[in-house]
Structure 1
Amino acid sequence: MAKRTTIDRAQDYKGDFMQTAGKGGEQDPLVRQQAGDWALLSDEEITRLYAGNQIIQNIVDIPAEDATREWITLEMEDEKLARALEKRLETLNAPEAIEKMVAYDRLRGDGFVSIGVTQGGRQWTLDDPINIKSLRSIDYLHPFSRLKLTKFLINVDPFDPSFGDVEKYQINPGHTTMDDSPLQRDVHKSRLLHLQTKRIEDRDWGQSILEPMKDIITVFDTSLWSVGQILYDFTFKVFKSNQAEGMTKEDMREAQMLMDYMFRTEALAIIESDEELKKEATQVNGVEQLLTFVWDVLAGSAKMPKSHLLGQQSGTISGAQYDSLNYYARIAGTQENFLRPKIEYLVRLLLWASDEPGGQIDPDTIDWKVKFNPLWRLDDQTDADIRKKQAETDSIYLKNQVLTPDEVRQKRFEMGSLMDELEMPDDPNGEGEGSNGEN
């Protein structure tokens, strides 16, 4: 009977991994990968990933910083009141609180901000909704992650008008009862801002951005380690001698130390005629393409350009950086779809509060609007190039009497800046004025 080799035995297990994992029979013992495998990460694993990798910190933190970096402008007929309310939001550290809420949402799947208030009237508890008619002031805004929550109750009746809304949050404040069991506190939804931008159906908690990125994070970490090994062993020495076979361990160690010293400190090595000493360099052909692929997949998974992953100057782009324009458009979408209702809710509470700027004002009786300030600006060279082309275009229009000098002057110097023409709309739906502000 012919002896079977290892390769012959391996053929018994050869198969396409797409047909394994129970889809096409018993799991292949040599298959290590499964298509579409969901990597569920524990809170501790998420913490370790974030704490141990600066690129992951950039993925979590930079979009949160960009979403709140330029903050907002309040537009209302009473300019003095608008500026006072903006100042009050700043003294409450609202930009920082919203930024951390966005970061917690990206990192943990859910971000929260607690709203501390002073109310008049009867005695109330955190389980009671905020009574806007007796509201006096907003005292603090504290951001936190889902690690502080035990659970929250969601209306799951699809025929109820409040279907999908959170009815109540249950918080673990860190205290215990007499029998050392956790002390739970129920909090009404009006006393919290809750951000959840990505949620899997039938899952109450939001999904961390790191879960679907787990595979590429592993590959990226492996690439970083591999590059370090290549650099460490980029050049190594080879000593060839007829006496090598008879050398003792002590002789080999002494020769190794001597050769290493000579190659680092001297340009000349003296050896016997039957010996050879040379350097061997590690071949790195093709490594750059592999690393580029890893960076591309990482950037695509994070929905961030590579330049932003590496810490590009915030808000400054050149005309050719279309990927940056797309990135800022995505951030603007996050502002409109998720952050606007939270900020409007805070403004409404400030207007209702009797001890806040303006006294007690019904937000529905005045016209007001939250406007997000521009996220980006052109670099000086691109701005100058665009203005030059505009001037050349205006000259042609004037020469051919398409426009008059007054029309050109109004268009270029009275109707707004160049950024106003290039700026992405802050309210693509034409809404945003004093809404009910669901939090």
Structure 2
Amino acid sequence: MKTIDQAKQFRNDFMLGHGKGNEKDALVRQQPAVRRKLTDVDLSNLYANNSIVQNIIDIPAEDMTSSWFTLRMKDDQLQRNIMSKLADLKAKSAFKQMRSYERLRGDGFISLGVTQSTNFTLSQSIQEDKLKKLDYIHAFSGMKVKDFLLNEDMFSPKYGQVESFEINRQSKFGEQVMGVQQNHVHSSRVLHDQTRKLEDEYRGQSILEPLYDIITVLDTSLWSVGQILYDYAFKIYKSDAVDGMSTEQKNELTMLLDYMFRTEALAIIGGNEELRKESTNTSGMKDLLDYVWDMLAGSVRMPKTVIKGQEAGTITGAQYDVMNYYKRIAAAQENEMKPHIEKLIRVLLWCEGELGGRIDPDTVEWEIKFNPLWSVDSKTDAEIRKLTAETDSIYLVNGVVTADELRETRFGQFGLTNETKFSGDDAYWKRVADEVYRAHKEHRGNG
């Protein structure tokens, strides 16, 4: 027979699982300066067990690559050949995976599998004038990288840059490549995505590390809400006969009453007995949960509606939240993803057997322009362009910009485009923001 202590069951959530009330619990002991470093196993478990964590990791990576980009160059045939080759390499999917790995692990990579006209080792730099083909690209995470070999000579022009990576090329069938030297890969042979790195560390920091306490509270609040819903309405049975019952009789009566009151709507009790129904008071619960969501959204710089993957109706200011999110995605595309895409295209141009012959990338006019993250209907687009033209005319007449500056801004070096570079007053941005929010809702609804 089980004792009462043996029969007790505890919820093994993040709070209890890491010692609530223990001096090591930063949430209880208030130790904000103590860093919590997460292992690869910790990160994998967080990602595997929490759908909100998956959204935080994957949605920005999807948004950065979903619209992809347009390659502009005067040679239309060359442009089509490059985009076709990128499609064959599944570059769009690889870049999405690389950014997801970067957010989850701190470092994301893409390997460049090239063929050269001369023998080479992976520890050697790519020889551009010897490139023949780009055979494949593979995305992988920092879990595969044992060490970062940096240039730490502060008088070197490449100070602080990674010269090579020591990569684990082992499979479950054993070591594929023997020798330490063979596992060193020159930095020119990989694309390395890293956006969060502490000054004294080589590896990037997972976005989940500073979020751990918030995710802890979110997980605990989810469990607490579940407990409240489970016990939202509970019954109290009062009877003098209970005092004389044994433990087994009380357990049997509890199970019987629990079954009966779940299946029957009528209770018959004696005159000296009492049955009451109590409800849990949830006043203020919404404010507490909103606080947790606000902290999470602010920390990851994503609107709550985007994190949840759904819309919660039209909320004042929500249009601007979504638009600001897209502006951050667009900035990340330009500052973080664009250099990697340019490097990949330069490798393709140097390959003798890919595009009809080796091409020096510096001798060709080409430009990467990311496609808009949202679109508007034709009527709204015409109205926005008309408003933009009127604003430009005012700027031109008043000498704010010159005709050449305006021509470069609106038309660029490759002629008229289908996109509009927005600028204007609050009313102008309000209209654009409303369209962005509407398009965002339609996109999420169709997805």
Tell me, yes or no, whether TM beats 0.5.
yes
Unaligned stretches of 5+ residues in structure 2 = 1-23, 390-409, 424-428, 433-447
Query: Quick check: 1:199–1:205 contact (8 Å CA) kept in 2?
Result: yes
Query: Quick check: 1:237–1:277 contact (8 Å CA) kept in 2?
Result: yes
Distance change in 2, residues 1:129/1:182 (3 Å): closer
CA positional deviation for 1:225 = 1.1
Output the CA distance in 2 between the equivalents of 1:418 and 1:168.
40
Q: Is residue 299 of structure 2 the alignment partner of residue 290 of structure 1? A: no
Unaligned stretches of 5+ residues in structure 1 = 1-26, 395-410, 425-439
Equivalent residue for 1:216, pick from 214, 217, 220: 214
Query: Quick check: 1:173–1:183 contact (8 Å CA) kept in 2?
Result: no
Aligned to 1:321, what secondary structure does the other structure show? Answer: helix
Equivalent residue for 1:126, pick from 93, 107, 122: 122
**1:245 aligned residue:** 243
Query: Quick check: 1:41–1:211 contact (8 Å CA) kept in 2?
Result: yes
Question: If you compute each CA radius of gyration, which structure gives the higher value, 1 or 2?
Answer: 1
Query: Quick check: 2:109–2:193 contact (8 Å CA) kept in 1?
Result: yes
Query: Quick check: 2:73–2:366 contact (8 Å CA) kept in 1?
Result: yes
CA positional deviation for 1:158 = 2.1
Query: Quick check: 1:177–1:183 contact (8 Å CA) kept in 2?
Result: no
Output the CA distance in 1 between the equivalents of 2:283 and 2:138.
52
**2:157 aligned residue:** 161
Output the CA distance in 1 between the equivalents of 2:331 and 2:98.
16
Q: Is residue 341 of structure 2 the alignment partner of residue 343 of structure 1? A: yes
Letter in 2 for 1:32: R
Distance change in 2, residues 1:183/1:272 (3 Å): farther
Deviation digits for residues 39-76 of structure 1, max 9, x if unmatched? 11111111111111111111111111111111111000
Deviation digits for residues 221-278 of structure 1, max 9, x if unmatched? 1111111111111111100123222233344334333432332222221111221112
Query: Quick check: 2:385–2:420 contact (8 Å CA) kept in 1?
Result: no
**2:331 aligned residue:** 333
Letter in 2 for 1:61: D
Query: Quick check: 1:174–1:182 contact (8 Å CA) kept in 2?
Result: no
Deviation digits for residues 106-158 of structure 1, max 9, x if unmatched? 111111110001111x3211112111112111000011111111112111222
Query: Quick check: 2:102–2:194 contact (8 Å CA) kept in 1?
Result: yes
Aligned to 2:112, what secondary structure does the other structure show? Answer: strand
Q: Is residue 83 of structure 2 the alignment partner of residue 78 of structure 1? A: no
**1:51 aligned residue:** 48
Distance change in 2, residues 1:141/1:365 (3 Å): same
Letter in 1 for 2:107: D
RMSD: 3.4
**1:17 aligned residue:** none
Q: Is residue 319 of structure 2 the alignment partner of residue 321 of structure 1? A: yes
Query: Quick check: 1:70–1:373 contact (8 Å CA) kept in 2?
Result: yes
Aligned to 2:82, what secondary structure does the other structure show? Answer: helix
CA positional deviation for 1:390 = 8.9
Q: Is residue 105 of structure 2 the alignment partner of residue 108 of structure 1? A: yes
Query: Quick check: 2:303–2:321 contact (8 Å CA) kept in 1?
Result: yes
Output the CA distance in 2 between the equivalents of 1:290 and 1:300.
16
Aligned to 1:115, what secondary structure does the other structure show? Answer: strand
CA positional deviation for 1:417 = 6.0
**2:38 aligned residue:** 41
Distance change in 2, residues 1:114/1:218 (3 Å): same
Output the CA distance in 2 between the equivalents of 1:50 and 1:155.
33
Output the CA distance in 2 between the equivalents of 1:418 and 1:359.
33
**1:87 aligned residue:** 84
Deviation digits for residues 183-241 of structure 1, max 9, x if unmatched? 86111111110111010001011111011111111111111111111111111110012
Aligned to 1:167, what secondary structure does the other structure show? Answer: strand
CA positional deviation for 1:324 = 0.9
Query: Quick check: 1:172–1:182 contact (8 Å CA) kept in 2?
Result: no
Q: What's the TM-score once normalised by structure 2's chain length?
A: 0.76
CA positional deviation for 1:163 = 1.1
Distance change in 2, residues 1:182/1:220 (3 Å): farther
Aligned to 1:370, what secondary structure does the other structure show? Answer: strand
Aligned to 1:80, what secondary structure does the other structure show? Answer: helix
Letter in 1 for 2:136: Y
Output the CA distance in 2 between the equivalents of 1:245 and 1:76.
89
**2:227 aligned residue:** 229
Query: Quick check: 1:151–1:170 contact (8 Å CA) kept in 2?
Result: yes
Letter in 2 for 1:49: L
Higher helix share: 2
Query: Quick check: 2:111–2:137 contact (8 Å CA) kept in 1?
Result: yes
Letter in 1 for 2:65: T
Distance change in 2, residues 1:415/1:136 (3 Å): closer
Distance change in 2, residues 1:344/1:246 (3 Å): same
Aligned length: 373
Deviation digits for residues 348-401 of structure 1, max 9, x if unmatched? 1111111112421111111000111111235x7xx877878999999xxxxxxx
Output the CA distance in 1 between the equivalents of 2:157 and 2:385.
53
Q: For structure 1, which segment, 258-267 or 359-368, has the greater mean C-alpha deviation from structure 2 after superposition? A: 258-267
Output the CA distance in 1 between the equivalents of 2:383 and 2:138.
48
Output the CA distance in 2 between the equivalents of 1:241 and 1:348.
84
Letter in 1 for 2:30: Q
Q: What's the TM-score once normalised by structure 1's chain length?
A: 0.77
Query: Quick check: 1:348–1:363 contact (8 Å CA) kept in 2?
Result: yes
